[in-house]
């Protein structure tokens, strides 16, 4: 029998129980012996598991004390204590991945390693389940799920520890196209829960942003070439000439940012652009955007924009002044 370990955080704020059960049962095969290890106990999740699945002690159960009878080791006793994962750490899976990494380092030594060797081990989400799989599990093959589009700070710790036989699965076509260019271990799978989880994650961004009566445009801050920057400046000038209130948001970091800022300053356009940096949870900005713009299709967030049914413009050689979607938005905000 093939021994498969599923590592699950049933309280993951981005994934419903139904979603995680769906991912679990993707690996259920007649020849598989499935083990489930939860981050914390959750009766709701457990009651939906197939009875043939073996449930192990949760990750959060750590050894707190021992009593030893040195004359008879059979009489040794151990006390396990459950450590609850703070809510802000679970939110940080999607908002501040670096914080999760620091938290894992602080609890790593107290978490016991698995002493069973598995043929395959799978973490169903980013954050602590993936760190547990990296550091504490022995398996011939390790699979890391990223059910939602995530960026460098969340993915880099996993990619940095991939062995030749390991895989990353993502349900985001944008994330797949970005990572698969340089890594054959990135795999895409279609996930019927993607839209639901996308909206769950964007609600974890607690910053309140309202854009009443103002056109909101979102783009990745990855303008690689001079023609991209020129097209960007031309489009901003075009919106200014239409005499509409608007704000163009650029997320992420790029070495050309200084050049872009200088061009904006020269043309007195600084007030119309906001650089929001490398925030992990950019989906609230996408939800509130009237328009999503990419430069010569780079797949930064286009799959997520399509999922949210946002108008998408691809800037190629000439600014799309006569694009019907843009003309419609201008008319709306005039």
Give the CA count within 13 Å in the CB-facing half-sphere of 263: 18
Domain 215-333, CATH among 3.90.1300.10, 3.50.50.60, 3.20.20.80, 3.40.50.2000? 3.40.50.2000
* pLDDT score of 61 more than 70: no
Residue 77 makes CB contacts below 8 A (sequence gap 6+) with 66, 67
pLDDT tens-place string over residues 300-309: 899 999 999 9
pLDDT tens-place string over residues 210-269: 566 789 999 999 888 888 898 899 889 989 999 889 999 999 888 889 999 999 999 999
pLDDT of residue 273: 96
The architecture CATH gives domain 2-67+80-202: 3-Layer(aba) Sandwich (3.40)
Q: Nearest Cα to 234, choosing from 302, 334, 317, 300?
A: 317
Q: What's the CA gap between 314 and 296, in Å, rounded?
A: 6
Work out the percent of the chain whose per-residue pLDDT is above 90. 64
Residue 208 — pLDDT band, cuts 50, 70, 90? low
How far is the CA of 54 from the CAs of 3, 18, 47, 84, in angstroms? 11, 19, 12, 22
Query: Worst-scoring range by mean pLDDT, 83-97, 161-175, 298-312, 318-332?
Result: 318-332
Mean per-residue pLDDT of the chain? 89
Q: What's the CA gap between 134 and 118, in Å, rounded?
A: 13
How far is the CA of 241 from the CAs of 235, 236, 331, 334, in angstroms? 10, 9, 13, 11
Domains 2-67+80-202 and 215-333 share a fold: yes
| Domain range annotation of the chain | 2-67+80-202, 215-333
- Strand, helix or coil for residue 240: helix
Residue 70 — pLDDT band, cuts 50, 70, 90? low
Whether 211 and 288 have beta carbons less than 8 Å apart is answered as yes
């Amino acid at each position: 029998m093939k021994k498969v370990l599923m590592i699950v955080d049933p309280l993951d704020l981005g994934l419903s129980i139904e979603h995680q059960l769906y991912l679990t049962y993707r690996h259920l095969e007649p020849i598989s012996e499935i083990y489930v290890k939860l981050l914390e106990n959750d009766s709701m999740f457990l009651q939906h598991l197939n009875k043939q699945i073996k449930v192990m002690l949760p990750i959060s159960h750590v050894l707190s004390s021992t009593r030893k009878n040195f004359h008879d080791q059979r009489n040794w006793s151990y006390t396990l204590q459950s450590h609850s994962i703070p809510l802000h750490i679970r939110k940080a899976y999607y908002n501040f991945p670096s914080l999760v990494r620091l938290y894992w380092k602080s609890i790593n030594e107290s978490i016991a390693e698995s002493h069973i060797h598995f043929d395959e081990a799978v973490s169903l989400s980013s954050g602590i389940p993936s760190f547990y799989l990296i550091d504490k599990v022995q398996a011939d093959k390790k699979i890391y799920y990223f059910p939602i589009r995530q960026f460098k700070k969340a993915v880099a710790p996993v990619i940095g520890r991939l062995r030749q036989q390991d895989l990353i699965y993502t349900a985001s076509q944008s994330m797949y196209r970005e990572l698969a260019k340089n890594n054959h271990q990135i795999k895409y799978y279609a996930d019927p829960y993607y839209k639901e989880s996308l909206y769950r994650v964007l609600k974890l961004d607690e910053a309140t942003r309202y854009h009443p009566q103002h056109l909101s445009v979102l783009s990745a801050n990855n303008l690689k070439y001079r023609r991209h920057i020129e097209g960007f400046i031309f489009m901003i000038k075009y919106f200014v000439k239409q005499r509409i209130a608007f704000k163009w948001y650029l997320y992420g970091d790029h070495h050309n940012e200084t050049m872009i800022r200088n061009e904006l300053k020269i043309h007195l356009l600084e007030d119309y652009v906001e650089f929001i940096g490398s925030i992990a949870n950019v989906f609230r900005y996408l939800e509130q955007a009237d328009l999503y713009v990419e430069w010569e299709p780079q797949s930064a967030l286009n799959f997520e924009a399509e999922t949210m049914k946002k108008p998408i413009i691809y800037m190629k050689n000439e600014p799309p002044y006569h694009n019907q979607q843009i003309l419609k938005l201008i008319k709306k905000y005039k």
